[in-house]
Structure 1
Amino acid sequence: MLHYIGKRLLQLIPVLFGMSFIVFLMIRAIPGDPAQVILGQQATVEAKAALRASLGLDNPWYVQYFDYLGGILTGDLGDSIRTKVPITEEIYPYLAATAELAIFAMIIAIVIGVNAGIISAWFQNSWFDYMAMVIALIGVSVPIFWLGLMGQWAFGTELGWLPISGRGDVRDPVTSITHFYLIDTLIQGRFDQFITTIRHLILPGVALATIPMAIIARMTRSSMLEVMRSDYVRTARAKGQKMFIVVYKHALKNAIIPVLTVIGLQSGMLLGGAILTETIFSWPGVGRYVYDAIGFRDYPVIQSGVLIIAFLFVMINLVVDILYSAIDPRIKYK
């Protein structure tokens, strides 16, 4: 197992190098001049040239890339062009906000998606099965931004049940310790702020969870249908074991591998797909951070944000591969 993990980590190096190079070239293909964005339309040619020189943007592209690559190898992601703050210091609170939202959304997707898939498979061709699969199809098809806007209008504006933007109450801000508000509020014993944070998470979390929830439900149903036709499931049912035991102890354990693959892929997708959700709900996450950086042509922030998301995506898939052998002892890595 350790040999396999080491091999996968070594394979991660060329992937990240390739990703950094592609992102570097794509960013420079975006129309616009960072110096002009920073200084404004009325800036003189001399002022813009001086700013480009100070930022190293007047160097050839390959020189800029190798300078950036050298910084990555030493743990230095550079400074933000807009704020002049080191990105390694600036990005963590945004990354924590995105992780909190993504974890919350994934919990919703897994709990509802897996159980809906199980019930649909057990009661195949029933009204619940048809209804669940139609809802899953709609969940995959509906754009996140439209669902988010409708949620804001219905539950925020019309009913007034939930806040429509932000991460917490601006009148009573959370004192950041870990930058994970749910953890910070519990550490400080502020249960009122904990509930407020949960309320702010619901709308963006549900909007972000819709697509993975639908995909997980369909995959769980398909996998469970195959397993439930197996001899050992029929034997367990013939022995008179309760439905809950048959499904969750025998069938689900053998059907979970493909579902776990989907969960891993969707977890990684949530980190990148949160940009739309964070923009709609004014969520201060890394997606919104990168989105704002694109408008300012803040090249170091864009490069670093995409690279970190790519790294987390690959690491999530590595963790999923390791979990395979923990769930099914027959799977061995050499």
Structure 2
Amino acid sequence: MLSFIARRIGIGLIMLVALSVLVFILLRLAPGDPIDAYINPSVPLSMDELAALRERLGLNQPLPIQYFGWLSAALSGDFGYSTQRAGVAVLPLVIERIWPTVLLMAAGLFIAIIVGIAGGIVSAVRRNSALDVGFSVGAFIGISSPAFLTALVGLYLFSVQLRWAPSGGMLTPGAPFSIGDLLSHLILPACLLSIGHAALIMRYMRSSLLEVLNQDYVRTARAKGVKEFWVIIKHATRNALLPVVTLIGSTIGIAIGGAIFLESVFNWPGMGLLLVNAVNTRDYPVIMCATLIVGACVIAVNLLTDITYAAVDPRIQVG
């Protein structure tokens, strides 16, 4: 197990470097001059001043030298300063935005896992019933609904029309902090984020459990007189969870993309909103740092998923 973890960490570091190279190149290939992000358009600069600024920032160097200069600084924890926030270091700015995104994603995935697994079990046990058909239709609608459409419809329906939840932000401006206020802002975007993932988990859980219920050891447990509840929960569900565990790990990366839309729609002060604003303002240091942190989180989650998969099924061997 230790050698497996060490090897996966090494592969993850290589993937992070490849991701940083790709994002660095794409930012340099974007239309416009990178120097424009560092100057005030209302303050005209001479050609000599622009050349001096370009040299000071290292933008006059060849692209490989620029990248390795950035990489060497990043390895020491220096991701530079935001081009749109004077004197604000990038790393603390990005770290400050991590926990709101983690909170939103954790709440959304928690709801998706509970609803998806429970719905999949009920749908499989009550196969071809009206309840199964209803769950299947709802799952297909949830899978087919893009994140931005779900966010906009949910905001309009539950915040604008019904006024059941606040329309944006993480806390009420000017109000003292309280758990109730936080939950009132969190519940709607978390539920909307969970829709697509809950639907996908439900379909996988139903399919996997139906396959397991036809296995010999399940029929043997029933023949021995084991109550149906324990046959489903103890004997069938645990083995049916194996593909679902892998799916849950892979959906976290997808959830980041959905969180970007949700944070933009609900003005949630997390990584997604920060990235969108950084792209709009061409804040290159923030984009690079935020992208690497998101990539590192996805790689870490995939590693934990593999370890969990091996723990759930002792037959899985890692080496």
* 1:21 CA drift (Å): 0.4
Q: Deviations over 1:266-302 (max 9, x none)?
A: 0122123311111000011111111111111111111
1:20 aligns with 2:47: no
In structure 2, what is the equivalent of residue 44 of structure 1? 44
Q: What is the alpha-carbon distance in structure 1 between the residues aligned to residue 187 and residue 224 of structure 2?
A: 43
Whether the aligned pair in 2 keeps the contact of 1:236 and 1:246 (CA below 8 Å) is yes
1:170 aligns with 2:155: no
Whether the aligned pair in 1 keeps the contact of 2:208 and 2:240 (CA below 8 Å) is yes
Whether the aligned pair in 1 keeps the contact of 2:28 and 2:34 (CA below 8 Å) is no
Q: What is the alpha-carbon distance in structure 1 between the residues aligned to residue 233 and residue 116 of structure 2?
A: 15
* 1:194 CA drift (Å): 0.7
* 1:54 CA drift (Å): 3.9
1:104 aligns with 2:107: yes
Q: Which runs of 5+ in 2 are unaligned?
A: none
Whether the aligned pair in 2 keeps the contact of 1:269 and 1:313 (CA below 8 Å) is no
Letter in structure 2 aligned against 1:43: V
1:195 aligns with 2:197: no
Q: 1:124 aligns with which of 110, 124, 127?
A: 127
Q: What is the alpha-carbon distance in structure 2 between the residues aligned to residue 216 and residue 256 of structure 1?
A: 10
In structure 2, what is the equivalent of residue 177 of structure 1? none
* 1:50 CA drift (Å): 4.7
* 1:238 CA drift (Å): 3.2
Letter in structure 1 aligned against 2:172: D
Whether the aligned pair in 2 keeps the contact of 1:32 and 1:297 (CA below 8 Å) is no
1:241 aligns with 2:226: yes
* 1:163 CA drift (Å): 0.5
In structure 2, what is the equivalent of residue 186 of structure 1? none
Whether the aligned pair in 1 keeps the contact of 2:218 and 2:235 (CA below 8 Å) is yes
* 1:211 CA drift (Å): 1.5
Q: Which runs of 5+ in 1 are unaligned?
A: 175-192
Q: Write out aligned runs for 1:261-300 (5 A).
A: 261-300=246-285
Q: What is the alpha-carbon distance in structure 1 between the residues aligned to residue 268 and residue 236 of structure 2?
A: 39
Q: What is the alpha-carbon distance in structure 2 between the residues aligned to residue 64 and residue 82 of structure 1?
A: 21
Q: What is the alpha-carbon distance in structure 2 between the residues aligned to residue 280 and residue 38 of structure 1?
A: 28
Q: 2:91 aligns with which of 85, 88, 91?
A: 88
Q: What is the alpha-carbon distance in structure 1 between the residues aligned to residue 133 and residue 257 of structure 2?
A: 31
In structure 2, what is the equivalent of residue 187 of structure 1? none
Go from structure 1 to structure 2 and tell me whether the alpha carbon gap of 1:308 and 1:237 turns closer, same or farther (over 3 Å shift). same
In structure 2, what is the equivalent of residue 67 of structure 1? 69
* 1:56 CA drift (Å): 3.0
- Secondary structure of the residue aligned to 2:60 is coil
TM-score (norm 2): 0.93
Q: Write out aligned runs for 1:173-184 (5 A).
A: 173-174=176-177
Go from structure 1 to structure 2 and tell me whether the alpha carbon gap of 1:293 and 1:173 turns closer, same or farther (over 3 Å shift). farther
1:77 aligns with 2:79: yes
Q: Deviations over 1:229-263 (max 9, x none)?
A: 01121222334433332222111111111000000
In structure 1, what is the equivalent of residue 31 of structure 2? 31
Go from structure 1 to structure 2 and tell me whether the alpha carbon gap of 1:113 and 1:290 turns closer, same or farther (over 3 Å shift). same
Whether the aligned pair in 1 keeps the contact of 2:147 and 2:258 (CA below 8 Å) is no
- Secondary structure of the residue aligned to 2:97 is helix
- Secondary structure of the residue aligned to 1:8 is helix
- Secondary structure of the residue aligned to 1:58 is coil
Q: Which moved more, 1:84-93 or 1:4-13?
A: 84-93
Work out the percentage of aligned pairs sharing the same amino acid. 40
Whether the aligned pair in 1 keeps the contact of 2:37 and 2:283 (CA below 8 Å) is no
> Matched residue pairs, number?
316
Q: Deviations over 1:87-108 (max 9, x none)?
A: 2211112111111100000001
Q: What is the alpha-carbon distance in structure 1 between the residues aligned to residue 71 and residue 101 of structure 2?
A: 25
Q: What is the alpha-carbon distance in structure 1 between the residues aligned to residue 126 and residue 219 of structure 2?
A: 15
In structure 2, what is the equivalent of residue 182 of structure 1? none
Q: Which moved more, 1:32-41 or 1:89-98?
A: 32-41
Q: 2:296 aligns with which of 303, 311, 318?
A: 311
Q: What is the alpha-carbon distance in structure 1 between the residues aligned to residue 144 and residue 19 of structure 2?
A: 29
In structure 1, what is the equivalent of residue 210 of structure 2? 225
Whether the aligned pair in 2 keeps the contact of 1:148 and 1:203 (CA below 8 Å) is no
Q: What is the alpha-carbon distance in structure 2 between the residues aligned to residue 79 and residue 58 of structure 1?
A: 19
Q: Deviations over 1:20-51 (max 9, x none)?
A: 10011111222234543554444324255554
